Amino acid sequence: MNMPKRKIKKAEKARKENKEKIYDISMSVPTYNEKENIAKLIGEIYNEFKSHGINGEVIIVDDNSPDGTGKIADELAKKYKFVRVLHRKGKEGLSSAVLAGFAISKSDIVGVMDADLSHPTNRIHTMLNVIKSGDAEFVVGSRYMPGGDIIGWNAWRLLMSRGAIMISRLFTRVRDTMSGFFMIRKKCIEGKKLDPKGFKILLELLIKADYDRVVEVPIVFINRTKGKSKAGMKEILDYLRNVWGYIRTRMKENN
Ligand SMILES: Nc1nc2c(ncn2[C@@H]2O[C@H](COP(=O)(O)OP(=O)(O)O)[C@@H](O)[C@H]2O)c(=O)[nH]1
Ligand SMILES: [Mg+2]
Category of 198 on φ-ψ map: left (φ > 0), alpha (ψ -120 to 50) or beta = left
Evaluate whether 55 touches 22 at the Cβ level (below 8 Å).
Answer: yes
Pocket probe mutation, ligand 1, options 37, 94, 221, max atoms within 8 Å of Cβ: 94
Question: Atom 7 of ligand 1 has which residue's CA nearest to it?
Answer: 94
DSSP state of 152: S
Question: Atom 27 of ligand 1 has which residue's CA nearest to it?
Answer: 93
Q: Which atom of ligand 1 is nearest to the CA of 88?
A: 1
Helices 38-51, 69-79: inter-axial angle, 10-degree rounding: 30
Q: What is the CATH number of the domain that holds 32?
A: 3.90.550.10
Strands (E), 133-203: 138-142, 149-151, 182-185
Give distance in angstroms: CA of 10 to centre of ligand 2: 43
Give distance in angstroms: CA of 103 to centre of ligand 1: 18
Is residue 163 included in any domain, yes or no?
yes
**The domain containing residue 190 runs over which residues?**
22-254
Whether pTM exceeds 0.85 = yes
Q: Which atom of ligand 1 is nearest to the CA of 115?
A: 23
Give distance in angstroms: CA of 185 to centre of ligand 2: 23
> Within a 13 Å sphere around the CA of 71, how many CA atoms are in the beta-carbon half?
3
Is residue 7 included in any domain, yes or no?
no
pLDDT in tens, 127-155: 999 999 999 999 999 999 999 999 999 99
Is residue 49 included in any domain, yes or no?
yes
Give the span between the Cα atoms of 116 and 112, in whole angstroms: 12
- Identify the pLDDT of residue 26: 98
Pocket probe mutation, ligand 1, options 224, 230, 235, 236, max atoms within 8 Å of Cβ: 230
Is residue 199 included in any domain, yes or no?
yes
pLDDT in tens, 48-77: 999 999 999 999 999 999 999 999 999 999
Give the span between the Cα atoms of 110 and 169, in whole angstroms: 24
Cross-strand bridge partners of residue 41? none
Pocket probe mutation, ligand 1, options 28, 29, 32, max atoms within 8 Å of Cβ: 32
Give distance in angstroms: CA of 7 to centre of ligand 1: 45
Question: Atom 24 of ligand 1 has which residue's CA nearest to it?
Answer: 31
Is residue 17 included in any domain, yes or no?
no
Give the span between the Cα atoms of 176 and 202, in whole angstroms: 9
Q: Is 221 exposed, middle or buried (0-12, 13-18, 19+ CB in 10 A)?
A: buried
Q: How many domains does the chain have?
A: 1
Nearest ligand (C-alpha, residue 62): 1
Evaluate whether 202 touches 142 at the Cβ level (below 8 Å).
Answer: no
Q: Provide the Cα torsion 177, 113, 97, 76; round to 10°.
A: 180
The pair phi, psi for residue 92, each rounded to 5°, is -105, 0
Is residue 181 included in any domain, yes or no?
yes
CB atoms within 10 A of CB 75: 13
Regions of the chain where pLDDT drops below 70: 1-2, 15-21
Q: What is the CA radius of gyration of the chain?
A: 19
Q: What lines the ligand 1 site, CB under 6 Å?
A: 30-32, 34, 61-63, 91-94, 97, 114-116, 118, 180, 229-231
Give distance in angstroms: CA of 19 to centre of ligand 2: 31
- Identify the pLDDT of residue 2: 66
Is residue 9 included in any domain, yes or no?
no
Is residue 139 included in any domain, yes or no?
yes
Evaluate whether 138 touches 184 at the Cβ level (below 8 Å).
Answer: yes
- Identify the pLDDT of residue 97: 97
- Identify the pLDDT of residue 124: 98
DSSP state of 2: P
